[in-house]
């Protein structure tokens, strides 16, 4: 995704140590692949937030996928990461981050840590991230990777994200990265007044709509953004709504 363009982008880090493993694991090949990803998959599709673009140009996405799939890390598609889960398509990661309109001082709750890549992107553009993962193996793996990369502003919790993380509430923004057919009431309750919530809403076993929910004076508005296809949210979300 375009080296010349990125000469104009500020290298912005919010109190985060440099990526400890980047120099050892990165190569010119991966750096060029990231630049191409940003230019062709993000900028050409309308992503304009400079901090989101800079974060995704910096982050070694190939470290967040199985080694056997590292050569596909910067392709325009989701990839399996084990436990029936995926790492989202780069464009969707950028889009979901951009619509939250983060300025840098927010506390963000992410539901569905997965590989940890989305949490790392959020950590590059805001002050504090709390990320919850229901799959214990993925949770521990993502936590270890994020720690090794120096992300001291990410707190990873293992548990059912349907209920959010009340201990850290309220949140300026919430991101849900798995499909569900309703908006979990606990997440709405934990969203700060004036906050923004983004999630794939619809049939978990078919296509969904990516929606943005805004909260003003305990009144909610829902905005449709794009059609998407996410893996289903598991745990309590699989029960009939209201049960």
Measured over the CA atoms of residue 161, residue 87, residue 200 and residue 14, the dihedral's sign is positive
Contact residues for 209 (Cβ-Cβ < 8 A; gap 6+) = 200, 201, 202, 224, 225, 226, 227, 228
Measured between alpha carbons, how far is 111 from 95 in angstroms, rounded to an integer? 16
The answer to whether 196 touches 216, Cβ cutoff 8 Å, is no
- Residue 154's nearest CA partner among 134, 139, 166, 137 is 139
Q: Which of 25, 27, 88, 131 is catalytic?
A: 88
Beta bridge partners of 224: 211
Residue 69, SS3 per DSSP: helix
The answer to whether 228 touches 209, Cβ cutoff 8 Å, is yes
Residue 80 backbone dihedrals phi, psi, to 5 degrees: -70, 145
Asked if 148 is an active-site residue, the reply is no
Measured between alpha carbons, how far is 39 from 202 in angstroms, rounded to an integer? 30
The catalytic residue positions are: 88
């Amino acid at each position: 995704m375009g080296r010349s363009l990125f000469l104009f982008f500020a290298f912005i880090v919010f109190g985060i140590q440099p990526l400890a493993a980047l120099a050892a694991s990165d190569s010119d090949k991966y750096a060029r692949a990231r630049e191409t990803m940003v230019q062709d998959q993000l900028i050409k599709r309308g992503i304009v937030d400079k901090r989101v673009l800079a974060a995704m140009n910096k982050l070694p996405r190939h470290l967040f996928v199985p080694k056997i799939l590292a050569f596909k890390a910067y392709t325009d598609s989701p990839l399996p990461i084990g436990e029936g889960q995926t790492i989202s398509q780069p464009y969707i990661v950028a889009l979901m981050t951009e619509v939250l309109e983060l300025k840098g001082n927010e506390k963000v709750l992410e539901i569905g840590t997965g590989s940890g890549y989305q949490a790392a992107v959020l950590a590059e553009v805001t002050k504090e991230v709390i990320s919850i993962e229901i799959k214990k193996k993925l949770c521990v793996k993502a936590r270890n990777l994020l720690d090794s990369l120096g992300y001291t502003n990410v707190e990873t919790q293992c548990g059912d994200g349907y209920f959010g993380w009340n201990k850290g509430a309220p949140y300026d923004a919430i991101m849900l990265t798995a499909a569900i057919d309703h908006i979990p009431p606990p997440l709405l309750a934990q969203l700060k007044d004036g906050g923004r919530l983004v999630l794939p809403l619809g049939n978990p076993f078919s296509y969904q709509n990516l929606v943005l929910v805004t909260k003003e004076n305990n009144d909610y508005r829902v905005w449709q953004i794009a059609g998407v296809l996410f893996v289903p949210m598991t745990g309590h979300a699989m029960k009939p709504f209201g049960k």
